[in-house]
Amino acid sequence: MTRLLEATARAEQDHFWFRGFRRFVEPFVREATGGRPDARILDCGSGTGVNLPLLARYGTAIGIDVTWTGLAFARARGERRLAQASATHLPFATGAFDAVTSFDVIYGLPDREEAAALREMHRVLRPGGHLLVNAAALALLKGNHSLFDGEIRRYTRGTLSARLTHAGFDVVRMTYTNATIMPLVAGVRLAQRLTGYRESTREISTPPAPVNAALTGLLAVEAAALQYVNMPFGSSLLALARK
């Protein structure tokens, strides 16, 4: 996990995937908080804390992470509303938050822990509050990076919806993302399957500037389209659900 967080910290400001992710997520955060300037937001698995400033545009954002490494990176960024905790046992009162986010966390939890984490996120939300989840999608896209970041499962729209519903949520919206780069991702992952999986940081390393700029542009176009339509496929799933 330390190696993953270190690699993430090096890449997440400039890498096309992270830039695209923030473009995809921000309108969902706006909807989740309902435009309330005083919204209380909990980020479950805040990692290096890079997403906390985005969340803080829409209220008071608190981050929790199970690792000291992640919390240290976040503190170095100037974040102070942090706690070391597991998503399966959140140290907050029932109904304490207007919105809860969980970005690329639950796919690395065993089934029982994933269910417990979703129940805890449901518990700490106020009635009518929203959960925003991002998770890896489509088992055929498993690859080298899956080994590096401890991925246990990849979701389809149906499996993620079922797990959210089982935890007590009503799904408001769900879309695949990274659809515009899906051919590239699928090709790379197919090559990895054919040659055998090997733990690698390559996909989390920022590519050469022209390539990074081109892929950033593709994801920006997709983010604009997501204002109007859901994507039918992609390497990630983004879901908004209500308690």
- Distance from C-alpha of 167 to C-alpha of 125, rounded to nearest angstrom: 12
Mean pLDDT computed over 48-61? 96
Q: DSSP 3-state helix, strand, coil percentages of the chain (rounded to 5)?
A: 45, 20, 30
Q: CB of 168 within 8 A of CB of 122?
A: yes
Rounded Cα distance, 145 and 3, in Å:
12
Task: Give the per-residue pLDDT at 200.
Answer: 66
Q: Alpha carbon 157 to chain centroid distance?
A: 15
Please tell me the predicted confidence (pLDDT) of residue 194. Answer: 85
pLDDT tens for residues 140-157? 999 887 877 789 999 999
Domains contained in the chain, CATH given:
2-242 (3.40.50.150)
Band of pLDDT at residue 203, cut at 50, 70 and 90: confident
Average pLDDT over residues 15-22: 96
Q: Residue 111: what pLDDT?
A: 97
Task: Please determine, for residue 201, whether its predicted confidence score (pLDDT) is greater than 70.
Answer: no
Taking the whole predicted model, whether its pTM rises above 0.85 is answered as yes
Burial 81-108 (b: 16+ CB within 10 A, else e): bbeebbbbebebeeebbbbbbbbbbbbb
Among 114, 224, 144, 111, smallest CA distance to 177 is for 224
* 132: nearest Cα among 90, 174, 193: 174
Give the model confidence (pLDDT) of 210-228 as tens digits. 999 999 999 999 999 999 9
